[in-house]
Each structure stands twice: as structure tokens, then as C-alpha cells.
Amino acid sequence: MARRMRAAIFSEYGGPEVVDVRDVPVPEPGPDEVRLKVEASSMNHLDLWVRRGLPIETPMPHIGGADIAGSVDAVGPGAEDVPLGVRVVVDPSLSYGWYDEDGRGPSFANEKLRLIGEHTQGGFAEYAIAPASNLLELPAGFEATDAAAAGLVFVTAWRGLITRGGLRTGERVLITGASGGVSTAAIQIAKAAGAKVYAVTSGPANVERVSELGADVVYDRKRVDFSREVWMDTSKRGVDLVFDAVGELIWPQCLKALAVGGRLVTYGATTGARGTTELRVVFWKQLSILGTTMGSPGEFRTVMRMVFDGRFTPIVQEVLPLAEARRAHERLEAGDVFGKLVLVP
């Protein structure tokens, strides 16, 4: 009989209640793939979209979890060079050909971007499958929970701020949704790049924690109109770059907060995808609106090495057992998380 494993799985789209922890067969690696014994897998907002049914190519029943760290347990044909037992973190982006490495953005001539845990079965399980080419070895003693918390959010923030946004020393950057997974990574990257960081979050406890992370000026979106505050705090100049995924609800304020010649880098639409754009603001201030998604293999390795070096710290709010996967969905959906939740089997 096939070996069985525990997995957080859903068979229909819906709210957190569709997530169940069940016994399923242990997967077998295919050509150029490995099987990992999962040590940790972190939650991303992506897992909420996938569970709600936003992408249409999710294999069902589905195991979420794009961010995986663990040890190689078996190798498929063509992946025999990967040593058994090696501890790794997985780059969540599939179809690497989607990226050029010149930093200009996706190569649309190539195949379309796919993600582990969205277009394939992910890491919320005892075992998971990943392409051998996506593995990055962990330094000895590096915590799997930190590695799994870092991958997707740091590569997204790195590409968005540095490659696409071209953030430079001395510039002013505004980071919205500052308590989120990507944003807690972005604050650290922006500070390391020598920028002055303005951040928007919710509630006094988050304001304090975002300041502790290194943000220079922090606004509570529940108390103030941050675009007005940014305007005043920059002597009516605005910021050079806004890094936003909150989307629709605050899109006009993000545009207003920009200085002449400013760049708005958008990487998500948490509150909706139809922001109203005041075109006069865009052309009069000569703004640039840039999209970004995930990152190339080179960007993943660059930023993860900085995480391994201790230059950046993944912000882990809590490590939960896999059995509490449904609660993890509920908590991330409620906005009750600072940084990341990590599940361990």
C-alpha cells in the first residue's frame, strides 16, 4: 500500500472552513524533481487567494504552501546529483524562463509564470515535491522556520524595490500594509539601501513594531490620512517611491504621496484591483507606475544569501503545528499577523 502523510488540504474553494488536515498518499518525484521531508512551510496572502479560488489552474484537491524548507528525502530521474538528506529552501517561482536576468522585467515571449503551492501541490504537508533547480542549500544550523518565512516575501520585496523600483541611497520610500509579510521584508531592504522609510500600518501596537523594524516615520492608517501626513512631513515634496500591495482602497492616496518624478511599484491588490487613477496627477507629476511579481533565480539567491548572513531577518510572528492550518488561514485573513505565520508538520 502507498505510504501516507498528513497534509492541510481543500477540495473546494471557500473560506478557511474548507481547509482540513487529512491523510493523503506521499507524492513521488518526477523527472528532475526531488521529494522533501518538510521541516517548515510559511503562509502567504497567496494561500488565501488560492483557497478562495482566484487562480483557475489550481490542482484539486489542493495542498497550499509556496514557501518550503526541509531535507531531500528522494530524487527523481535526472536529479540523482542532489544528495539525500541535504537541507534546502525552495525558490517558489516555477517557469524560470519567464524572467530575463537583465532586470528589465518578464520576458513575455517565454512561458507564463507558475508558482509552487498555486499551480502545483505545496508545502503544507509532511512531504512535498520541488524541481531540483529550485533548491538552495541552507547553511549549517539555519532554522527551517526562518528560511521558509523568508523566500517568497524577500524575493518579492527585493525585485520590487531594487530591480524594478531602482531605489537609491537617500531616497524617500513609502511602504504600505507595513505589518504584512512582504512589507516587513521591504522595510529592511529599503533601510539597507540607504533610503528614508515612511510606513503605513494599523493600530498602535503595529506602529511600535514597524518603528522597531527600522521605519523612520510610521502612520496609523486608522487614525490619519497618510497621504496628507507624508506631504506635510516631506515639506510638500512627497516620496520618491511607493511600494504597495494594499491596492484599491488606498491607490489614490499612494499617487498623491509621490513627489514629482516618483515611482509607484505595485505588487498586489489585497483590498481590490480597481484603484481610481487621477490621470492629471500622473502626467503633471511625471509619475511612473511599475508592476512587479516574484523574482528571478538570481534575485532569489542574492536576497536569500543576505538572509543567511543575518543582514535581513524574517519576521515570524508564530510557528504553528500543521494541524492548525485552518486557524492560520483565519488569522492571516483577519489581519491578525505581524510578519509571517509558519506551519510545521
Ligand X SMILES: NC(=O)c1ccc[n+]([C@@H]2O[C@H](COP(=O)([O-])OP(=O)(O)OC[C@H]3O[C@@H](n4cnc5c(N)ncnc54)[C@H](OP(=O)(O)O)[C@@H]3O)[C@@H](O)[C@H]2O)c1
Minimal CB distance residue for ligand X = 180
Pattern of binders to ligand X over 285-314, x per CB under 6 A?
--------xx--------------------
Taking CB under 6 A as the binding criterion, the range among 18-26, 94-102, 161-169, 174-182 that sits at the site for ligand X is 174-182
* Stretch binding ligand X (CB under 6 A), from 6-14, 141-149, 175-183, 303-311: 175-183
Contacts of 334 (CB under 8 A, 6+ apart): none
Q: Compute how many other C-beta atoms are within 10 angstroms of the C-beta atom of residue 133.
A: 13
User: For the window 260-279, what string marks contact with ligand X as x by the rule CB under 6 A?
Assistant: -------xxxxx--------
Which residues 6+ apart lie within 8 Å of 322 measured at CB?
Answer: 6, 7, 8, 21, 124, 125, 126, 343, 344, 345
Interaction with ligand X in 75-94: which residues (CB under 6 A)?
none
Of 245, 244, 212, residue with least CA distance to 230: 244
Distances in whole angstroms, Cα of residue 2 to Cα of each of 24, 47, 65, 126? 9, 28, 23, 15
| Of the candidate residues 42, 121, 134, 201, the single one contacting ligand X (CB under 6 A) | 201
- Can residue 121 be called a binding residue for ligand X (CB under 6 A)? no
Tell me: does residue 221 bind ligand X (CB under 6 A): yes
Is residue 66 close enough to count as binding ligand X by CB under 6 A?
Answer: no
CB of 292 to ligand X, least distance (A): 6
Give me the least distance between CB of 31 and ligand X, in Å please. 27
Q: Which is nearer to ligand X, 179 or 296 (CB)?
A: 179
Total interface residues for ligand X by CB under 6 A: 30
**Sign of the torsion formed by the C-alpha atoms of 106, 276, 186 and 50:** negative
Please give the grid coordinates belonging to residue 206.
503595529
| SS3 of 299-319 | HHHHHHHHHHCCCCCCCEEEE
Residue among 179, 188, 227, 296 that touches ligand X (CB under 6 A): 179
Q: How far is the CB of 203 from ligand X (least distance, A)?
A: 7
Choose, by CB under 6 A, the member of 40, 167, 182, 254 that binds ligand X. 182
- Per-residue interface string for the shown chain with ligand X, residues 46-65, x marking contact by CB under 6 A: x--x----------------
Look at residue 222 and give its three-state secondary structure. coil
Question: In DSSP terms, which residues pair with 20 in a beta bridge?
Answer: 9
Site residues (vs ligand X, CB under 6 A): 44-46, 49, 152-153, 156, 177-183, 201-202, 206, 221, 245-246, 249, 267-271, 293-294, 332, 335
